[in-house]
Every structure is written in C-alpha cells, then in structure tokens.
Amino acid sequence: MYRQTDTFPLADRLFHDIQQRMLNWSKQFSILLFLDSNSYDSPYGKYDCLLAAGALDIISQPQGDLLQYLQQFHTQHKDWLFGHIAYEYKDLLEHILSSSYPATIGFPLAQFFRPQIVCYIEKGSGNLTIECVGISPLEIFNAIINTSPLEKLSQPKLSFQQRINKDTYLNSITTLRRHIADGDCYEINFCNEGYCESAVIDPVQVFNALNTLSPAPFAAYYRLYDKYMMCASPERYIRKQGQHLLCQPIKGTARRDANELKDIEIKTALYHNIKERAENVMIVDLMRSDLAHTCIPGTIQVDELFGIYTFPQVHQMISTISGKLKPDTPFTDAIGYSFPMGSMTGAPKVMVMQLIELYEQSRRELYSGTVGYISPQGDMDFNVVIRSLFYNATSQYLSYHTGGAITFDSEPQQEWDEMRLKAWALERLFS
C-alpha cells in the first residue's frame, strides 16, 4: 500500500506543545509507540520525537526465528516497523536458558507492527513530517493541532512492595560476590521488582509526569492493547545508520546534589571510581565481542570510554562502541548476536543470565529488553528499557525493576542504596 508523505512547518507556539498534542491525540489507538529524545544534544540522534500509531500488520512470534522473519518482512515491504523485544527472548537465542517466573504484565516475547501513521520531527528541522496509509497527512496534521495539549493531572497516591526484601537482597549480593570469587562470573546485573496491585492510573498521564520529572534521551510511551510501558531511559542499545553500528552501554551511577560544587565533586568522583570503571570496561569488552559476530574485522572501535553524562536525578558513565556491518549480513543479526544487552546482564553473558534466573524472584518481561524502530531504509535505533513503569490495565498491576551491576568490590548496602535511588525516581510520582 502506498504511504503518503507531507511535511508541515511548525510555528513557535505549536512547536512548544506539539508533542503533548501528539500524545493526547494518539490515545485513540490500541497500538502505538512514542519515542522522545527530550531535545538532548547528541551527534547520533536523528529525531526529536517519533510517533507510530495504528497497525497495518502485526509481526509476532511465529514458529521459528522472529528476527529472521522480521528481516524477511522488511525486505518484502521496505516500510517502517516499530516494536519490542522482551528480556526473556534470550531463551530463544540460547536454548540452555529458561525462565520459570510467571508473567505479570503480559507483553509478548517480541512483537513489531507496521504502523498506519508515522509522525516525526527531525532534529533541528522545526517541521512535523507525517507518513500514512489510507488517510491524508493533512487530515492527520489538522487532527493533531486541533487536539488540546495533555492536561497535567496529579497522580494517585500508591505504595509499592519490594519483591525481594532488604535482608534477602543484601544476602544475595554477598552470595553473588562469592560466585565471582569462585570464578563463575566477573560481573552480574542484579535487579529487584517493585509492584503495586489494584492500581488505577492513566498511563499517558503517568508517562507525561515521568517524562517531565526525568527527561531522558530514550524516553518511550508504548501501548499494546491493555499493556503499557512508560519509560525514561537514558540508554541506547543499538543503532544502525547505513552500515554503521553503534552501541552505548551505561555502567556507573552517582546521585545528583542540589549544591553545584558538591554535584561537580560527585561527578568527578564517578569518573575516577575504580569499581565503576571496572564495571564499565567489562561491558565495553562484552559489546565489542558481540559486535564482532556481524562487523567487518578491524572496524570495531571504542569511540568514547568512561564518558560522564548528567541527567536530572543521576550522573551516568557511558561508553560508545561502533563497527561496520559486514556486507550482505542481515541487520537483525546484529540484534540476535548482542541481545540481551551486556549492560543488563554481565559477563560472561550466558552464565550470568542463569544466575539472574536463580537469584531474582520475578520475570523481567519488557524490563531490560528494548523498544525502537526500523526505518524503510533498514536503519534502526533501539533503547535499553530501564527507568520504566509497566502496567496491565486489565489486572491493574503496576510494576518496575531497578538494580545495578555487582562486582567482587560491591558493598551490599551501597548496592541496595543505588537500587533504591533508581526506584525513588519512579515511586515519587505516586507519593
């Protein structure tokens, strides 16, 4: 089917609140994905925001390899694809892995959709481009600008329970350090679930509040029927532009401080922290190894090591690794050989995923998975799903996961404090 395209200049008034109007207008769709860069200045980002709404086709988990099927579908249609891959997709990539805990939100292992409507603002353009099937771009544009911006409402008061209590969490850190001392692994990402039952929320309002309090370069609002994700992720998983692949793992976190001089001290201390550097460089090496499966030998490089980036609640240590995809290699192979991302697993990857299953007490589902897009040209950009809330509107179950990387030098109490710092950024919406 032919996709009509048109571009509309945005007046200053509209540019200020167009994303709010887009979100409010999109509530009518049962499948949608909204991606927001929050105007972060990055040499790698292409869009200020990107909205996909309505589904012409659904690409879900068939019998066989979804990534191979996704590549074939894209080759045939040469169109936009948006969607997700959940953490437990690992079980299909490594057959010795399994997941025993029940799903609570219910996102499929992986699902993509070919949208009826795509709206985007390219960085620095000041224009809204609309691509759609079966309806004119002008009609969509008029509908969006005639929709009022989201009204900012207060959130309900909710309290969250911890799946793993503090004593058990601290004991688990001690046990994981013993695994590291015994040589079972070098680093492991260990997480805890916070959850609230019988929660009645308006997901788009929650996302708007989260995105206002914690604006992040890979923020996302995702609806799949009665399942919702509200994401304030600072982390990119993988990007493909032409034949160029790029990953930007985060390992290393420090709190912000209201005092400017103290904040600078904390930021500087993070850069020089030996433990945080050890965590980061191990994941950099893991990502280099993952990219080696699909990149031309000699093209993989570390563009930035131990970069310190500041966000509203925390400072983060981020490194950038890139490589050039081998000719005639399916771009989905780059996902298949690197998923789940090393920053959310550890090293060696398969072993730590077995330990994660052993010591965590809940299914991660979409947390530490990914959402993103594939363009008609075969470019792609996917985030790491962290700093996120997940909601099933039918069961009224609301949850999040937070955690951190455990090394032999980890102090259990400090790891608990870091996990709770990340959780506080989400829980405070409802306090």
- Residue 349 a catalytic site member: no
DSSP string of 370-383?
Answer: EEEEE-TTS-EEEE
Structure tokens at 329: 């290699």
- Residue 251 a catalytic site member: yes
In Å, what is the CA distance from 85 to each residue of 204, 216, 293?
A: 21, 20, 20
Please tell me which residue in 235, 276, 365, 418 is annotated as part of the active site.
Answer: 235
Q: Tens of pLDDT along 316-338?
A: 999 999 999 999 999 999 999 99
Please enumerate in sequence order all residues whose Cβ is within 8 A of that of 101, keeping only pairs 6 or more positions apart, or say none.
360, 361, 362, 363
pLDDT, averaged across the chain? 95
What structural domains and CATH numbers belong to the chain? 4-147+155-430 (3.60.120.10)
Structure tokens at 237: 């998983």
Are 343 and 286 spatial neighbours (Cβ–Cβ below 8 Å)? no
> Percent of the chain, pLDDT > 90?
90
Q: Tens of pLDDT along 88-121?
A: 999 999 999 999 999 999 999 999 999 999 999 9
Q: Tens of pLDDT along 50-73?
A: 999 999 999 986 656 899 999 999
Please enumerate in sequence order all residues whose Cβ is within 8 A of that of 117, keeping only pairs 6 or more positions apart, or say none.
51, 52, 53, 54, 130, 131, 132, 133, 135, 140
Please tell me which residue in 90, 227, 251, 422 is annotated as part of the active site.
Answer: 251
Question: What is the pTM (predicted TM-score) of this model?
Answer: 0.96
What gap in Å lies between CA 411 and CA 70, rounded to an integer? 43
Place of tokens 């989201």: 150
